[in-house]
Chain A
């Protein structure tokens, strides 16, 4: 990988292994790199430990989404979903366990898959992407059970409401739709840009990040990042962040968000921005927290750079892994 390619690399997705010792990251060249967290976090780590233990080309197009189940790593690129076994990856064996593709109606171009999420209740995988629909696949059998239609433009992000078993999807058309997975119907549709306090017409109406913790929902993108109460479907707080946020998550009593701008924002639920932590990439795409391991509990962010910043303490960047 030459220096020019490294300069133009963007990291789009990340996922931690189920044991919590490895991090997989996907970039815009279709490659997935596996980093060993235990060696890079150890006290005697050197530059070599910050490089991946394994890099391989997984897809032809960019790897927009990575997801880990208990045993496998799922990656999605240009319209297809590949599964890799984590134990095999640790042994540097890069053969895919399976590759599947949802049934697309348009046969001319293959729509990209932007987001994947697992519904633990019925062991199914929901994928959303360029064909404006959410496809639901049963993980056991690999059959695509249903298609949720309703969005009028491509889907950016998906999230699961654990308690109610609902799926939330946010798309380019500015709508956040809540789906009941069993009936396949859209239960609610919230058009965020229509709410005056959230809308930012200068940025657009697209929703690029949706996340929920059953009672509350965070969504943002063109409109400002806002916190919504799901029972009443009303926006309770709007966060004054300047750029468009690409990923957000709830963590303890904070909200962590990354997007345009070279910092990770920590916000409080009331609407204040508590702090902006500077990071190396000039613009961030993905934020991941390692909840699978207690001793490697780190936060990693990646964006328009070949460096992935690792935070051991949320308040400052500890070091960077590089592709």
Chain B
């Protein structure tokens, strides 16, 4: 186990990527400061260090740019998130409106169907104008007939009265004639009685 740890530390002791570069740079800087080698070597080492430094700066610049980009992306996403939330709420509202509309439309449909159903029943009954016309015609007929009846009755009354008058006159005449006859026979009886005396 220690071997593994030692090996890992040996291979990866400086960290990875940029971290490693910075560690290596530090180490080479301290080595360069403490080195007693020739000026050309020192110069090459110096150049190498400048190169590494440049690499580090480049990497840092890249990271800063990426960081800014991420910040802007975040802002963008926040905006999109807010937009979507708003459209969700407006969709909810629209759905509620539509539901109300549906209820209203259903009520209207129900009313229309009730109206149609009643209309069907009403259609089965005869037209009012027709019935009124028939009623009027019947009324007129009725009036005519009652007028005729009145006329006939009047005639009947008149004939009755006339006959009554005729009959009563006849009877009166009969009475008068009878009276006259009686008077005459009385008178003649008186006469014969007188004559016989």
Say whether A and B bind each other.
yes
Cβ of A253 and Cβ of B116 under 8 Å apart? no
**A81 to B113 Cα, complex, angstroms:** 39
A235 contact set on B, CB distance < 8 A: 121
The size class of the interface chain A forms with chain B is: 10 to 19
**A215 to B107 Cα, complex, angstroms:** 15
Question: Given contacts A252-B110, A253-B109, A253-B110, are A270 and B117 in contact (CB under 8 A)?
Answer: yes
**A268 to B109 Cα, complex, angstroms:** 9
Residue from B109, B110, B121 within 8 A of A232 (CB atoms): B121
Residue from A215, A232, A234, A270 within 8 A of B113 (CB atoms): A270
Cβ of B114 and Cβ of A215 under 8 Å apart? yes
Q: Whole-angstrom distance from the CB of B153 to the nearest CB of chain A? A: 44
**A252 to B116 Cα, complex, angstroms:** 17
Question: Given contacts A229-B121, A253-B109, are A270 and B103 in contact (CB under 8 A)?
Answer: no
Question: Given contacts A229-B121, A232-B121, A253-B107, are A268 and B113 in contact (CB under 8 A)?
Answer: yes
Q: Whole-angstrom distance from the CB of A237 to the nearest CB of chain B? A: 5
**A229 to B115 Cα, complex, angstroms:** 11
* B106 close to A (CB within 8 Å): yes
Cβ of B107 and Cβ of A229 under 8 Å apart? no
Which of chain A's residues 257-277 have a Cβ closer than 8 Å to chain B? 268-271
Q: Whole-angstrom distance from the CB of A142 to the nearest CB of chain B? A: 39
Cβ of B110 and Cβ of A236 under 8 Å apart? no
Cβ of A237 and Cβ of B106 under 8 Å apart? no
* B118 close to A (CB within 8 Å): yes
A253 contact set on B, CB distance < 8 A: 106-107, 109-110, 113
Cβ of B107 and Cβ of A236 under 8 Å apart? no
Cβ of B121 and Cβ of A270 under 8 Å apart? no
Q: Mark A225-238, 1 if CB is under 8 A from B, else 0.
A: 00101001011110
Which of the listed residues A215, A237, A253 has the most CB atoms from chain B within 10 Å of its own CB? A253
Cβ of B121 and Cβ of A269 under 8 Å apart? no
* B120 close to A (CB within 8 Å): yes
B103 contact set on A, CB distance < 8 A: 252
Which of chain B's residues 64-112 have a Cβ closer than 8 Å to chain A? 103, 106-107, 109-110
**A222 to B103 Cα, complex, angstroms:** 33
Which secondary structure dominates chain B's binding surface? helix
A215 contact set on B, CB distance < 8 A: 114
B113 contact set on A, CB distance < 8 A: 253, 268-270
Q: Whole-angstrom distance from the CB of B102 to the nearest CB of chain A? A: 9
**A164 to B57 Cα, complex, angstroms:** 92
Question: Given contacts A229-B121, A234-B121, A236-B120, are A269 and B114 in contact (CB under 8 A)?
Answer: yes
Residue total for B at the interface (Cβ-Cβ under 8 A): 12
Which of chain A's residues 199-248 have a Cβ closer than 8 Å to chain B? 215-216, 227, 229, 232, 234-237
Q: Whole-angstrom distance from the CB of A4 to the nearest CB of chain B? A: 45
**A235 to B120 Cα, complex, angstroms:** 10
**A204 to B56 Cα, complex, angstroms:** 99
**A216 to B106 Cα, complex, angstroms:** 17
Cβ of B110 and Cβ of A269 under 8 Å apart? yes
Query: Smallest CB-CB separation from B120: which chain A residue?
Result: A236
Cβ of B116 and Cβ of A270 under 8 Å apart? yes
Query: Smallest CB-CB separation from A250: which chain B residue?
Result: B110
**A229 to B113 Cα, complex, angstroms:** 12
Query: Smallest CB-CB separation from B115: which chain A residue?
Result: A269
B114 contact set on A, CB distance < 8 A: 215-216, 269
**A236 to B114 Cα, complex, angstroms:** 9
Query: Smallest CB-CB separation from A234: which chain B residue?
Result: B121
Q: Whole-angstrom distance from the CB of A229 to the nearest CB of chain B? A: 6
Q: Whole-angstrom distance from the CB of B115 to the nearest CB of chain A? A: 10
A271 contact set on B, CB distance < 8 A: 117
Which of the listed residues B109, B113, B116, B120 has the most CB atoms from chain A within 10 Å of its own CB? B113
Query: Smallest CB-CB separation from B107: which chain A residue?
Result: A253
Q: Whole-angstrom distance from the CB of A280 to the nearest CB of chain B? A: 28
**A237 to B117 Cα, complex, angstroms:** 7
A229 contact set on B, CB distance < 8 A: 117-118, 121
**A253 to B103 Cα, complex, angstroms:** 9
Question: Given contacts A216-B114, A252-B103, are A236 and B121 in contact (CB under 8 A)?
Answer: yes
**A216 to B114 Cα, complex, angstroms:** 9
Query: Smallest CB-CB separation from B110: which chain A residue?
Result: A253
Across the A-B interface, the 3 shortest Cβ-Cβ residue pairs: A269-B113, A236-B117, A253-B110
CB-defined A-B contacts under 8 Å, sample of 6: A253-B106, A268-B113, A269-B110, A269-B113, A269-B116, A270-B113
Known: A234-B121, A235-B121. 9 other contacts (CB 8 A): A229-B118, A229-B121, A252-B103, A252-B110, A253-B113, A268-B113, A269-B114, A269-B116, A270-B113
